[in-house]
Chain A
Amino acid sequence: MGQGYGGLSEAPPASRYLDVAGVGKRFRDTVVIQGLDLAVGAGELISLLGPSGCGKTTLLRIIAGLLTADRGAIQLDGLDLTRLPAHRRNVGVVFQNYALFPHLTVADNVAFGLRARRRPGPEVEAAVAHALALVQLGEYAHRPIGALSGGQQQRVAVARALAVKPRLLLLDEPLSALDRKLRETMQIELRHLLRNLGITAIFVTHDQDEALVMSDRVAVMNAGRIEQLGSPTEIYHRPATPFVLDFVGLSSRFHGEVVGVEGDEVVAHTALGPLRARGRAPVGARVLVAVRPERIGVGPGGEGSANRAQLTVRDAVFLGSKLLLHFDAPAGDRAVAELPTGTGAALSPGDVVAARWSAADTLVFQLGGPL
């Protein structure tokens, strides 16, 4: 139901350029999206990040008009899209498999949307040339699609979607089919391009690095709802739920019980002994205490650190610029630290090290329910 939506004349505030309100969708008995709200500002780049099956692609298809929501409303720039068919929404989509027309040349693919809108020939030609120049494929205009590499096809898909000047661009795992090196280059290129055009865009991705690189804000999705919407730094440093903590980046995590509250800090009893964390939870609450691996210092020193533990190295993984240390931890817990290469002495499995980290870097999540 459109709750108070439908007024076309009122310009929405810039932060609500796209307004998804109370959208729900189920396939047969499976709820794919449940009562989801999302507000996107004009010119913002947003990522929908989540595991497969979390509903992110379904949400994208609903915004594009390729699926109908069971309930909820979608407004774009003050226009109610909820009942508008896809071809009248002017919402561009870059598909995961690119969905380029195999029977058309590169230029004809890019011209497709303009011709569907019956734009005059010279205008189409100019727009196609402009769009292909944006993705640096000018000289490929007359090639058949099949003659292009994966990266080039990806760029044609972007050019085709941009050529019609959509009010919103949706990208469904746009780079997932490319190999890693190319993907990283394209992430930067694509972000740069979209930023320069000032276009509002939503990426769907299951790759956290891609989400962090590409977007102003990340919406972490799980089981049909948004668990947290925030800047990449917020998502990483202040995850709202254990799910976000686990899905984005690595972390050390220990189960425990709150034994004391001091100001804005809590002390929890864990397998490592008492750990101090910044956050709120009542005494007696079962909690998860977590810290990001690069926040853990190893070796002597750091007298001011609130949290200390003697940890046994289980595995030391060399990752080029950094060294990842996995420590022994009880079942359900995890202890991992990340050191810049060269700082730690040669560590090998079985070594016991002194680890330390501050209370301010430590997160606490109250766990509900039994177990």
Chain B
Amino acid sequence: MRGRRPAAVSLLAAPAAVYLLVAFAAPLLVLLATSVVTPTGLSATGYVRFLSDPFGWKVLANSLRAAALTTTICLLVGYPVAVALVRARGAVQSLLLVSLILPLSVGAVVKAFAWTILLRSDGLVNQILVLTGLTAEPVRLLFTESGLVLGAVNIFLAFMVLPIYSVLRQVDPSLLAAAATLGSGPLHRFLHVTLPLTMPGVVAGVAFVFSMSVSMYVIPTLLMGDRYQTLSTLIARSYLFMRDRSLGSTVAVVLLAIAVVVVVLSGLLARSPRRTAVS
């Protein structure tokens, strides 16, 4: 499986590597430098300032909370969708896949705008809530965290479903049949066969959705407005309005650190000690 590759083969990755180096790594270094270089020399004052400010923690907490909620709901909603996708046959399966993938071609800006319309107090969501009698009065959804998470889940759901689906469809159905003949009921089968075997998909989906939702910018900007800040919106404000490059680069590095932690952790989890490799 893991053979030694001749050096020539790694040349295939060279164009991408060069592109990433120029377009991504170099600016990143500049960003890192900006966050620690002050007129008086190298210093971590930017970080000290950000982390000693309750507002900094508030922004960090906002981002992490929204991302955690979005990821959790995406997982809870997305896993059953992936199961349905695998079980569906023929036209139904194609329809489900298309309805999952096609919306990806609509940009996040457009979708976030659409949600501002849907979530208004006279919007469709509230009309349905009142019509069905779930609530007596229209509920305030726009500019609330619930509205933000609702919109974010809609926009990121496919990134949870697709990795889980791609792993789930490879689970040998005879494993579930074998479990059943061994006396394992539906719930036991799910917890002890399906779920462990699809963990790589779950980890990938969580990593995708979490890293995208912790750094989302357009969605909170449109659905929350200026009074709610996430790491991304704060970065933008620092650069565009406050002209504070030190703060902006510091927050950007914090965000980057979170992303790195998520990627490394999920990498470790996917390569869990229990072998999930197909023999």
Set A65, A85, A97, A113: member contacting B182, Cβ < 8 A: A113
Q: Which residues of chain A in 96-110 are interfacial with respect to chain B, using CB atoms and an 8 Å cutoff?
A: 97, 99-104
Question: Please, what's the 1-or-0 string for A68-96, where 1 marks a CB less than 8 Å from any CB in chain B?
Answer: 00000000000000000111111111010
* CB contact under 8 A between A99 and B178, given known A87-B185, A113-B184, A116-B183: yes
The reply to whether the CB of B43 lies closer than 8 angstroms to some CB of chain A is no
Which residues from A are CB-within-8-Å of B274? 103-104
Q: Which residues of chain B in 175-207 are interfacial with respect to chain A, using CB atoms and an 8 Å cutoff?
A: 175, 177-185, 188-189, 192-193, 196-197
The reply to whether the CB of B275 lies closer than 8 angstroms to some CB of chain A is yes
- Chain B residue at minimal CB-CB distance from A67: B177
* CB contact under 8 A between A86 and B180, given known A116-B185, A145-B279, A146-B277: yes
* CB contact under 8 A between A93 and B277, given known A99-B174, A99-B175: no
- Chain B residue at minimal CB-CB distance from A166: B181
- Whole-angstrom distance between the Cβ of B87 and the nearest chain A Cβ: 16
Set B177, B197, B277, B278: member contacting A99, Cβ < 8 A: B177
Contact residue range for chain B? 20 to 34
- Chain B residue at minimal CB-CB distance from A96: B174
Give Cα distance in the complex from A66 to B178, angstroms: 9
Set A86, A103, A160: member contacting B275, Cβ < 8 A: A103
The reply to whether the CB of B137 lies closer than 8 angstroms to some CB of chain A is no
Give Cα distance in the complex from A260 to B183, angstroms: 61
**Are the CB atoms of A95 and B275 closer together than 8 Å?**
no
The reply to whether the CB of B276 lies closer than 8 angstroms to some CB of chain A is yes
**Are the CB atoms of B172 and A97 closer together than 8 Å?**
yes
Which residues from B are CB-within-8-Å of A229? none
Which residues from B are CB-within-8-Å of A26? none
Which residues from A are CB-within-8-Å of B275? 102-103, 144, 146
Set B175, B178, B193, B276: member contacting A93, Cβ < 8 A: B178
Which residues from A are CB-within-8-Å of B179? 87, 101, 112, 116
Which residues from B are CB-within-8-Å of A144? 275
Give Cα distance in the complex from A93 to B172, angstroms: 16
Q: Which residues of chain A in 146-169 are interfacial with respect to chain B, using CB atoms and an 8 Å cutoff?
A: 146, 160-161, 164
**Are the CB atoms of B278 and A102 closer together than 8 Å?**
yes
Give Cα distance in the complex from A160 to B182, angstroms: 8
* CB contact under 8 A between A86 and B181, given known A99-B174, A99-B175, A101-B175: yes
Set B183, B189, B197, B279: member contacting A117, Cβ < 8 A: B183
Q: Which residues of chain B in 159-180 are interfacial with respect to chain A, using CB atoms and an 8 Å cutoff?
A: 172, 174-175, 177-180
| A-to-B contact residues, CB < 8 Å | 64-66, 85-93, 95, 97, 99-104, 112-113, 115-117, 144-146, 160-161, 164
| B-to-A contact residues, CB < 8 Å | 172, 174-175, 177-185, 188-189, 192-193, 196-197, 274-279
